[in-house]
Amino acid sequence: MTVLVLGIGNILWADEGFGVRAVEAFHRLYAMAKDVDLLDGGTQGLYLVNRVAEVDRLLVFDAIDYGLPPGTLKLVIGDEVPKFTGAKKMSLHQTGFQEVLSAADLMGHYPSDIVLIGCQPLDLEDWGGPLTAPVSASIEPALAAAVEVLESWGVAPSRRAVPLPAESGLLANDIDRAAYERPRAGAD
């Protein structure tokens, strides 16, 4: 059984980056079981089809506008997932994750289990801004929910005694959260 833990979203639009930041934190805090891969899917759209089509089980972190209080987490399971993916499209030409799932299904390689851990965003319009406080505070609970899902699939990760340093994180460059969300000049 192969499992993909995928974070999707755009870190350049504040809370839209929740999925990427969650998978990044998951990598730093947890060692994955064999056959579990982590991926920063960012805004890759249809480029993710092959990765999704090659796994048996898929766990996705994403910012989702459920109309709930900011920072609220909601788990969506199975056939309900395509109805809830993506908080914001940047243009009419952008491919949403629904299209990725549809393409995998058309290829005949749809994951047997899918779980979406969605977080209600507060701000999707702050170009270059960090995650807002309620969304940032939801990362640890989202990781705990992910551990429960993976445990139920029999591929539980183990918490690292010491988190990986930022330079050996999933992104390991200037767009990892610690480097990207440095305090802004003139900010309180």
Instruction: Using the predicted structure, report yes or no on whether residue 99 has a pLDDT greater than 80.
Output: no
pLDDT digits (tens, 9 = 90+) for 6-47: 999 888 888 999 999 999 999 999 999 999 999 988 777 777
- SS3 letters across the chain: CCEEEEEECCCCEHHHHHHHHHHHHHHHHEECCCCEEEEEEECCHHHHHHHHHCCCEEEEEEECCCCCCCCCEEEEEHHHHHHHCCCCCCCCCCCCHHHHHHHHHHCCCCCCEEEEEEECCCCCCCECCCCCHHHHCCHHHHHHHHHHHHHHCCCCCEECCCCCCHHHCCCCCCCCHHHHCCCCCCCC
Predicted model pTM: 0.84
pLDDT at residue 92 above 50?
Answer: no
pLDDT of residue 119: 95
| pLDDT of the residue at 174 | 52
Q: Using 50, 70 and 90 to split pLDDT, how confident is the model at 86? A: low
Average pLDDT over residues 91-111: 71
- pLDDT tens digit sequence for 58-67: 999 999 888 8
Q: Which of the pair, 165 or 159, is modelled with greater confidence?
A: 159
Write the pLDDT tens digit of every residue in 17-28. 999 999 999 999
